[in-house]
Homo-oligomer: A and B are copies of this chain.
Amino acid sequence: MKRNIYLKKKSLNEAKEIASKLASLIRLGTETVHVVQSLGRVTAEPLFAKISSPPFHCAAMDGIAVQAESTYGATDDSPKVLITGKEAWFVNTGHPIPPATNSVIMIEDVHQIDSERVEIREAAHPWQHVRAIGEDIVATEMVFPENHQITSYDIGALLASGYREIRVKKKPRVLILPTGSELIEPGEVNLSEPLPKIIESNSYVLSNMVVEDGGEPFRHPIVRDDFTKIREALLSKYEEVDLILIIAGSSAGSEDYTRSIIEESGEVYVHGISMMPGKPALLGKFKDRPIVGIPGYPVSAILAYEELVKPLIYQILHLIKPEKIKIKVFPTRKIPSKLGTEEFLRVKVGKVGEKFYATPLPRGSGMITSLTKADGIIRIPPLSEGVDENQEIDLQLLRPFEEVLNTVVMVGSHDLTIDLLANVLGKYYPPVFLSSHSVGSFGGILALKSGICHLAGLHLLDPVTGQYNIPYIQNHLKGIDIRVINLVHREQGLIIQRKNPKRLRGLKDLLKEEITFINRQKGSGTRILLDHELKNLSINSSQIKGYEKEEFTHMAVASLVASGVVDAGLGILSAARAMNLDFIPVTKERYDLAIPSVYFEDEKVQKMIDVIRSKEFKEEVLRMGGYDVSKTGEELI
């Protein structure tokens, strides 16, 4: 089997330089557009005013237009009478003043004697309350240079300069070609049947990014992994566009044809970039058109676009690419990174106390949610082996800064009611955001200790006292004043296949030979609960098949059960219900929010507590099933 090897691997900076050279080869055509529809377009020539603005001397006030000289001498003691239509003319703001006049007297200062005469009691000076011709724009002056991007304001200046149409650069046309036999068009998905293929979404994400950057995308339907078909698609379309993005087929797999197709009809300059995600990206020329090989994994695709294609489109349009807003953050934990590779780490960020803390999201390039949930991106340069906990670093924001400031940062155990809570919080205006990071209950305790969150979600059973959470707080958070609010009581139990085909009845059945189990991570409340229950039942955990395999959320456990990978896992009823699975109750546990007193009175935290105590929230929780809200919102210590 013939395979690709990254013979032309480059650093990201080298690749960007090559992309910039490719961009400089493109000459966009020009077209004429209506000024009123020219927002965001880029001028193709300098624009000189066709007329002056104002186009004549006009009144800046309602009043009478006069020749100033004719008013000289007028005072309170000796008013002057002017004949209307001969010495004085009524004018309203914006109207031309008659040729013989050079001054306007405000209507407030004019006494109309009769239909033919007005009286004034103060002399006017020349050009008072008059906007002179060309005061704003003088005919023939350059209003905008070439390569200027039209703003809303500019439309006013262009219309005032006598333009109805202007000559602008055409939008860069971008062919977007998704390839892969594993893909299905979103329009062909039938949700009532199991999906046989992966939904193609990259091309639509990229199309929208092209639109945002001022280009014009042309999406080609999916082409399957077939050398001839892909080549045909490119050959039939390349002449109609300025730039080609071909998605997938550029990594090192056996059916990755992008590189050989481009080599046949052009040249490959870069194959493989030391960035992560995004490594399999490719840069070349197909015939005389720049072509970018975009990796198939969604995060790789987006980052390859952001780093290589977006600057290229801005350069073609001759615009400076605006940079994302940067803030300084501290990572909530040490982040190792591979030397020699520029890594783009997606993180949640929140302001706790005076510092901004960033918590890494999953790093997999297949995780689109690691971008949609991210508040920002930390770039770890190739010469760094990572970032230390106490190291202040730059973060590029993906959300408005104001949103980050209005975010409650929660770390700890996950519960499905947290999503409900976040949703209801968003109904405030300005909205309050809730960022929740699942690290298990004990992780929440540690986060409170290091001061990196506003609150933690906990359901930690103390086996000695039988009490929840408070013994742990008293034990591990000495010296920190913590207040505890109950969020819910919830049922924990075995999440099992629908209709219970293996006829499980309880924890003891986990010992059966044919039963496989999935566990939660150490330090999670569910894990502690399981161990407690196993101990009570004198079950030896090492005899449970899968006890050593860990997942981090209830939904991940339910998902593995639903897909038949395992038979059972301990989790909450709502997770079982969400996945349409059966559930064997084991026990009811208390889930609390632990909030340091210093943040308790914070306005956004108070709003959150108000929501928790609201009838609307409790009713929505009850609708999920498996919850008891009798203590919800109560302060426990």
List chain A positions with a Cβ less than 8 A from chain B: 1, 3, 24, 35-36, 39, 46, 50-58, 60-62, 92-96, 102, 107-108, 112, 131-148, 151-157, 159-160, 162, 164, 180-183, 186-187, 189, 191, 194-196, 198-202, 204-209, 211-212, 225, 251, 253-255, 296, 298, 302, 315, 318, 320-323, 325, 364, 366-369, 371-372, 400-403, 406, 419, 422-423, 426-427, 429-431, 555-556, 558-560, 562-563, 565, 578-579
A201 close to B367 (CB less than 8 A): no
Task: Tell me the bound Cα distance from A183 to B208 in angstroms.
Answer: 39
Contact of A56 among B52, B144, B194 (CB under 8 A): B194
B369 close to A251 (CB less than 8 A): no
A142 close to B419 (CB less than 8 A): yes
A58 close to B205 (CB less than 8 A): no
Task: Tell me the bound Cα distance from A36 to B132 in angstroms.
Answer: 51
Q: Contacts of A108 on B, CB cut-off 8 Å? A: 3
Task: Tell me the bound Cα distance from A200 to B182 in angstroms.
Answer: 56
A55 close to B198 (CB less than 8 A): yes
B556 close to A253 (CB less than 8 A): no
Residues A62 and B254 in contact in the complex (CB < 8 Å), given A366-B136, A559-B133 = yes
Which of A39, A318, A402, A559 has the most B CB atoms < 10 Å from its CB? Answer: A559
Q: Contacts of A186 on B, CB cut-off 8 Å? A: 35-36, 159, 164
B162 close to A191 (CB less than 8 A): yes
| Chain A interface helix/strand/loop/mixed | loop
Q: Contacts of A251 on B, CB cut-off 8 Å? A: 93
B135 close to A39 (CB less than 8 A): no
B323 close to A402 (CB less than 8 A): yes
Q: Contacts of A225 on B, CB cut-off 8 Å? A: 92
Additional pairs, 12, CB under 8 Å, beyond known A56-B194, A157-B368? A52-B559, A58-B182, A93-B251, A93-B253, A102-B565, A136-B364, A138-B559, A140-B578, A147-B431, A156-B302, A318-B427, A322-B402
Task: Tell me the bound Cα distance from A403 to B148 in angstroms.
Answer: 12
Task: Tell me the bound Cα distance from A323 to B406 in angstroms.
Answer: 14
Residues A39 and B212 in contact in the complex (CB < 8 Å), given A51-B191, A431-B320 = yes
Residues A157 and B369 in contact in the complex (CB < 8 Å), given A132-B563, A565-B132 = yes
Give 4 closest A-B pairs by Cβ, nearest first: A94-B182, A159-B201, A140-B578, A62-B253
Task: Tell me the bound Cα distance from A482 to B402 in angstroms.
Answer: 46
Q: Contacts of A321 on B, CB cut-off 8 Å? A: 402
Q: Contacts of A143 on B, CB cut-off 8 Å? A: 369, 372
From A58, which residue of chain B is reached at the shortest CB distance? B198
Task: Tell me the bound Cα distance from A200 to B94 in angstroms.
Answer: 11
- Distance (whole angstroms) from the CB of A339 to the closest CB of chain B: 23
Contact of A369 among B131, B137, B164 (CB under 8 A): B137
A427 close to B92 (CB less than 8 A): no
Which of A142, A367, A369, A371 has the most B CB atoms < 10 Å from its CB? Answer: A369
Task: Tell me the bound Cα distance from A1 to B181 in angstroms.
Answer: 79
From A48, which residue of chain B is reached at the shortest CB distance? B578
Contact of A563 among B46, B134, B183, B406 (CB under 8 A): B134
A430 close to B559 (CB less than 8 A): no
